[in-house]
Structure 1
Amino acid sequence: MTSKETRPNAVVSLYPELDEGVLAQVVQALRTGDTSALAPARAAEVDAAREAATFRDGVRVPVGEGVELDAALWLHNGEGPHPLIVMPSPWAKQGWTVYAVQAMRFARRGYHVLAYTARGFGESGGEVEVAGEADIADGIKALDHLVSEAGGPGAIGRVGFLGDSYGSGISQLVAAEDPRVHAVVALSTWGDLGEAFYENNTRHVAAVRTLLGAAATARLSARTQKAFDDVLANENVEETLRWAASRSPYHRAEKLNDRQVPVLFAQAWHETLFPGNQTLKMFNALSGPKRLLWSIGDHSGPEMTGILGLPNRIWQDAHRWFDRHLLEVGGGENGDEAAAAAFDEESGAEDQVVSEVMWGRALESRPTWHAATGTPERFYLTGPADGARDGGLLDKPADGLHTTFTTGTDTPATVADQILVTGYAELAGLPKAYRTGKIDRSAAGVWTSAPLPSRHQLRGVPRLRVTVAADTADALFVAYLFDVNALGIARIITHAPYTLLGAADTPTAVDLALQVTGYDVKAGHRLMLVLDSVDPFYGGPADETPGTITVTSPDEDPSYLEIPLS
């Protein structure tokens, strides 16, 4: 597969509901002082920001070898020293302008801010390296530039890096390498990029195609294009994983731990670009101050209203995080104890984990991830009861499980209708409805529990232990966990893919971690586990000749679904 074949014909936005016109109006008003095109409240905010800070866009940050980054600068006018915030851009053609409203708000609060467009995007020079060493060096140079503009090292306070999406990974990596960075905010982020490309031997082809589409107007380096090509072509897997490892904050976590750098993470439960488990792995690897916000939705959706300047709990937490770890410690004209006191008075402000539970939208706050995780309960996979077409999920093993389904045929069991967009529908209270009766049982294995006698609160990482055998050399299966009502209409709780490699006709015991979840199943509803072999989000094996997959439950190693119940 050539690079030309994998470059998209049209730009795909990672921010499908972003109103670029709103951001453009804010930037123009900041530049000129003319707020006539803005709503009254936004106009007042821009006026206040212009009074508090000096704004400059069109800033060029030299980063070496003739490359300059396009940036914008907010310098607080009050007597300092002031803490600093650097904001690397998302993976988007809009570049730094995505941060215009929030950067303005940080500046009003007492920070000097520099937001920049990552190399290879927009008006910045260079080529896209996907958070490679050049991007880390760029972040350091951007900080150097801000320090210089703010009056030099003796005139500044503490330093924070904040990024959404692409900028979040760069922010973590810069913080690991530059001891001047005191705190990080990482929104819709990744910890292990390898797992975002390959999960359980399975290629995330929809995610890679989406990233390519979002970078259709960017300038990708040859090495970056090769990495994406290789994922789509199912080639050079180990080489790509090595390439991804150097771009993964997880592999530099010890450097953050050495300095106890505080990191705030925000992630969506149904994240389709950077699945939650790899971010959770990064979170659990950190020993310093940390906080993890879980939300309904998909990539960057939960923080979107804040990008547009509307009330948003994630951005509110980001401001509190920096106030606590930068502003209050670093001093400045606003460096009193008021913000820290307000932070402490917020419910759960001291807790490490705050979860927006599906689907009641209640917020749960827990002191640690361990405290947020439920107690494992097992549901054993069994064969169909008399007169039933589906297998069961029971509280103890039973004899006779032998379920075979054909591969190569998709079923209505899918991750989502459309990457990113389905998550925005979830945010609007419209999760995808699955008609479980339409799942072809010849192309899928299905196991269903009895109606649950009480509400089941799933908190953590569900796990599947299952013995499978395929009659082809390699075989993909995707496990979906559904919440099914009395009418057979389901909502997806979580899922995970798995590819058996080189196991033709050999029963193999598979331990599969489904993606982390925070979900309440109502009393009277059923749990349904579905295994099928095709999903548009994932790439199948090189040889996609149809075959069969057989699921069994040996007496000595029974198959079961384990869910963490709180």
Structure 2
Amino acid sequence: MTSEQHVSLYPELDEASLTQFAAALRSGDTAHLSPARAGEVTRALSVLTFAQVQVPGEGGVKLAGALWRHTGNRPRPAIVMPAPWTDFGWLVYAVQATRFALKGYHVLAYTPRGFGLAQFGGASGGEVEVAGPLDVADGRAALTYLIDQVKGPVTKTGFLGDSYGSGISQLVAAHDPRVDAVAALSTWGDLGEAFYENSTRHVESVRLLRQAAQRARLSARTEQAFDDVLADRNVEETLEWARERSPYTYVDLLNGRPVAVFYANAWHETLFPANQALRTFTALTGPRRIDLSIGDHSGPEMSGMIGLPNRIWADAHRWFDHHLKGEPNGIATEGRVLGQIMWNEELELRDDWGAVTETTDRLYLTSTAVSGDGRGRHERDGGLAEKPETGWTSEFRVGTDTPATVADKILETGNQEMAGNPKVYPTHDIDRADAAVWVTGGYPSGARLRGIPRLHLTYTSTHASSTFVAHLFDVGPDGSAHIVTHAPFTRLDHSPGRPVSVDVEFQATGYDIPADHRLMLVLDTVDPFYGDANAPGGTITVTSPADDPSHLDLPLG
């Protein structure tokens, strides 16, 4: 293991409140809890037993866990909750597991192999395999253990996980016919795409995963996979490793029964970007739903982990209440897609992902900025216009970062977004020698972006490989901006100087552009979140051939 600084994927989580809540479940002493949490513990202990347990996993490995078990022989549904990528282990779920138990479920929460500390409910044996076959076998063994521990028949079963636990939950559901429903929060569908989006390495995501697992025990194969991403080697081998750990690989198994699958993700998710989860979601043919929110990884659901009101956890409860208990609560018929719109926080329900985008507006990249009042504009900026303009070129240097970045810091910038303080970008400070910029005129009545923007452009590179990052910004009249969405792109097989046409999907978005604001497209070549394939001293030149004009397709709804 390296000596990188330890960080947490849950920086806002109140460790003390969770520890005190679990202690009250063990002892019955609620003196240190708030009245609301004390009431939950008292009610739970009056109808069930709580115990910390050692769950027998695959190969004799013992997994730290906690069991909420009802007395009596009444048939009941059951839920298994594999913990996230954190030292807290099963403790993260203490409050929500208690709430499920109060509604009549047997519940088992456990810490996946290789994770956990004694002060947080115990350490699990084994090594971290990143949702590999051993983790799937552990999940199946945990379900068997739960069924064996309770009295009376188990009617239906569900798996719920946040982050790491969400991937394990989907994979167990695909391989175990006993699982009827899944709730996967801040999840992944295709781990390979999450690590290599548009052939671009997500180096900051991998660094964060390693830093957050400093106290865990990573297997040698896990260490190798992380090292290979960071060192830019063995790409095909890593993609095969990721394929085995991707729910998308097993979507036919999920559809075959079918399993009822609930997803929750953030528009600005930086660890597992939304598009790869949406691709899996849209491939599902059984009951499904996805909630998309403002923020970054695990941020939107974090408040619910300590018992505060939380829309995502409320929907997860409704999902299981309907699919495991048969309650007619409306979640099966009200729409498969729920989007929280930046920045007005309005909630929009749509029948399915295909109904999110109603029309597409095509804007062409031009050499000259469109007409307007000139504020916040630069003389080298091109335009985004309704009619094509061809024959122009826009050249910029590679190798220098600009203020057009994905975020200041993974997770933390998203948490600021949730608090109503999105990052402000100074578009004046983007050096046009290191970036290419195109802007629209002001939108008199604003615009409603809904779906996946797509960029088609032709460019040349002075070297055989290239990377650029495309950003879409919402720019106010004073030139300050907020990020709407972005996409990295890498090509490794150029003929230097020869034009190549490419299509780039931005990450999905639900964004309202205010009246009189403009959209800005920025291409640069360096971002701390990504590895780049640019050779020093090179340039990228964008153009727009007459027979294939460069353009941006904006999804509107």
Contact 1:463–1:513 at 8 Å: present in 2 too?
A: yes
Contact 2:390–2:543 at 8 Å: present in 1 too?
A: no
The reply on whether 1:102 has 2:93 as its aligned counterpart is: no
* 1:142 equivalent in structure 2: 142
Mapping of residues 232-381 of structure 1, within 5 Å: 232-328=230-326, 339-340=327-328, 343-344=329-330, 350-381=334-365
Q: For 1:477, which of 468, 475, 479 is the aligned residue?
A: 468
Contact 1:8–1:212 at 8 Å: present in 2 too?
A: no
Contact 1:374–1:460 at 8 Å: present in 2 too?
A: no
**For the residues of structure 2 that align with 1:536 and 1:544, how far apart are their CA atoms?**
17
Q: For 2:164, which of 163, 166, 170 is the aligned residue?
A: 166
Q: 1:78: how far off?
A: 5.3
Q: 1:52: how far off?
A: 2.2
Contact 1:76–1:108 at 8 Å: present in 2 too?
A: no
**For the residues of structure 1 that align with 2:389 and 2:463, how far apart are their CA atoms?**
28
Contact 1:52–1:107 at 8 Å: present in 2 too?
A: no
Mapping of residues 406-425 of structure 1, within 5 Å: 406-425=397-416
**For the residues of structure 1 that align with 2:483 and 2:313, how far apart are their CA atoms?**
27
| SS of residue paired to 1:563 | strand
**For the residues of structure 2 that align with 1:350 and 1:385, how far apart are their CA atoms?**
43
Amino acid at match of 1:220: L
* 1:127 equivalent in structure 2: 127
Contact 1:382–1:400 at 8 Å: present in 2 too?
A: no
Q: 1:27: how far off?
A: 0.1
Amino acid at match of 2:436: G
| SS of residue paired to 2:96 | helix
* 1:561 equivalent in structure 2: 552
Q: For 2:395, which of 376, 384, 404 is the aligned residue?
A: 404
* 1:88 equivalent in structure 2: 82
**For the residues of structure 1 that align with 2:73 and 2:124, how far apart are their CA atoms?**
32
**For the residues of structure 2 that align with 1:427 and 1:545, how far apart are their CA atoms?**
38
Q: Which runs of 5+ in 2 are unaligned?
A: 117-122, 371-377
The reply on whether 1:228 has 2:217 as its aligned counterpart is: no
| SS of residue paired to 1:65 | helix
Q: For 1:23, which of 9, 13, 18 is the aligned residue?
A: 18
* 1:33 equivalent in structure 2: 28
Contact 2:455–2:504 at 8 Å: present in 1 too?
A: yes
Residue deviations 1:481-511 (CA, integer Å, cap 9, x gap): 0000000010000000001212121211010
**For the residues of structure 2 that align with 1:379 and 1:521, how far apart are their CA atoms?**
16
* 1:390 equivalent in structure 2: 381
**For the residues of structure 2 that align with 1:195 and 1:493, how far apart are their CA atoms?**
21
**For the residues of structure 2 that align with 1:438 and 1:444, how far apart are their CA atoms?**
11
Residue deviations 1:370-404 (CA, integer Å, cap 9, x gap): 11123111110000259932000000101342100
Contact 2:391–2:545 at 8 Å: present in 1 too?
A: no
The reply on whether 1:44 has 2:39 as its aligned counterpart is: yes
Q: 1:366: how far off?
A: 0.8
Q: 1:308: how far off?
A: 0.9
Normalised by the length of structure 1, the TM-score is 0.94
Q: Percent identity?
A: 60
Contact 2:369–2:438 at 8 Å: present in 1 too?
A: no
Mapping of residues 58-77 of structure 1, within 5 Å: 59-77=53-71
Amino acid at match of 1:109: K
| SS of residue paired to 1:278 | helix
| SS of residue paired to 1:265 | strand
Change (3 A) 1:76 1:17: same
**For the residues of structure 2 that align with 1:395 and 1:99, how far apart are their CA atoms?**
51
Amino acid at match of 2:361: E
Contact 1:130–1:224 at 8 Å: present in 2 too?
A: yes
**For the residues of structure 2 that align with 1:302 and 1:269, how far apart are their CA atoms?**
10
Q: For 1:189, which of 184, 187, 204 is the aligned residue?
A: 187
Runs in 1 of length 4+ with deviation above 4 angstroms?
A: none
| SS of residue paired to 1:302 | helix
Q: Greater shift after overlay, 391-400 or 266-275? A: 391-400
The reply on whether 1:443 has 2:427 as its aligned counterpart is: no
Amino acid at match of 1:146: L
Amino acid at match of 1:430: N
Amino acid at match of 2:134: A
**For the residues of structure 1 that align with 2:58 and 2:538, how far apart are their CA atoms?**
54
**For the residues of structure 2 that align with 1:516 and 1:32, how far apart are their CA atoms?**
47
Q: For 1:14, which of 9, 21, 31 is the aligned residue?
A: 9
Q: For 1:516, which of 508, 513, 516 is the aligned residue?
A: 508
**For the residues of structure 2 that align with 1:404 and 1:548, how far apart are their CA atoms?**
7
Q: Which runs of 5+ in 1 are unaligned?
A: 329-338
| SS of residue paired to 2:300 | coil
The reply on whether 1:209 has 2:207 as its aligned counterpart is: yes
Q: For 1:218, which of 212, 216, 219 is the aligned residue?
A: 216
**For the residues of structure 2 that align with 1:429 and 1:314, how far apart are their CA atoms?**
18
Provide the alpha-carbon RMSD of the alignment.
1.3
